[in-house]
Amino acid sequence: MVTAFASRTARSVSVRDVSLEDAFARREADAYEGAYRSFGPRMYSTALRLLRDAEAARECVHDVFLHLWRRQNAYAAQRGSLEAFLVTCARNAALTQLRTFSRGRAAIGKFPAEVAYEMEEDPIERERVARALRQLTSDQSDVVQRAYYRGMTLSEVAADLTIPIGTVKGRLSTALRALRASLIPGNADAG
């Protein structure tokens, strides 16, 4: 597998490749290579945004693919797009790495590094996202803010809001569907 990525990747509307998703679910080596070529740059930029270290981000992406290769039934095509699954895996792996690093630093008497989510510096895109976020209910917005902008796990969000984790998952799922409808060109609901 190739391990170098550009620091910025072009974002485009993705078209689901059902045959790639099915092959990936069957753990076919060619599908893993195809997924790496297609979605590796987006996974890398997600990890880089959180880790702020190019080498750590490359290792994170590699580790995600290795973990998925070793794990039976990690992905099922009917649960959603492969791209979303892989980017989420990269995000979660990067957050886990940050938490592990922070705990290690705290254990030796240092303060954990504070990690802030950085929005892209495109003011038009930032306004589009802000407008879409304002259309969410306050409950949905609270969950999205904590999970994606503060980097909290779903368990941490549930504890922080004192609600069941199932409620967090439901609100997040509904919010993400609403955001997708608002932000992805060609959706009937997009405004």
Give the number of domains in the chain: 2
Does residue 55 fall inside a structural domain? yes
Does residue 116 fall inside a structural domain? no
Q: How many CA atoms lie within 13 A of 39 on its CB side?
A: 28
Q: What is the pLDDT of residue 176?
A: 87
Residue 34 has which token pair? 């195809």
3-state percent breakdown (helix, strand, coil) of the chain, nearest 5 = 65, 0, 35
> What is the residue range of 163's domain?
123-183
- Shared-domain flag, residues 167 and 90: no
Q: What is the pLDDT of residue 61?
A: 93
- Shared-domain flag, residues 32 and 99: yes
- Shared-domain flag, residues 140 and 80: no
Q: Write the pLDDT tens digit of every residue in 146-176.
A: 888 788 888 888 999 999 989 999 998 898 8
Does residue 2 fall inside a structural domain? no
Does residue 161 fall inside a structural domain? yes
Global model pTM greater than 0.75: no
Task: Tell me, rounded to whole angstroms, the distance of Cα 35 from its chain centroid.
Answer: 15
Q: What is the pLDDT of residue 109?
A: 44
The residue among 49 and 105 whose pLDDT is bigger is: 49
- Shared-domain flag, residues 90 and 133: no
Point out the domain boundary residue: 80, 107, 134: 107
- Residue 19 pLDDT exceeds 80: yes
- Shared-domain flag, residues 132 and 99: no
- Shared-domain flag, residues 83 and 134: no
Q: Write the pLDDT tens digit of every residue in 92-118.
A: 999 988 887 765 544 444 444 444 444
Q: How confident is the model at residue 121 (pLDDT cuts 50, 70, 90)?
A: low
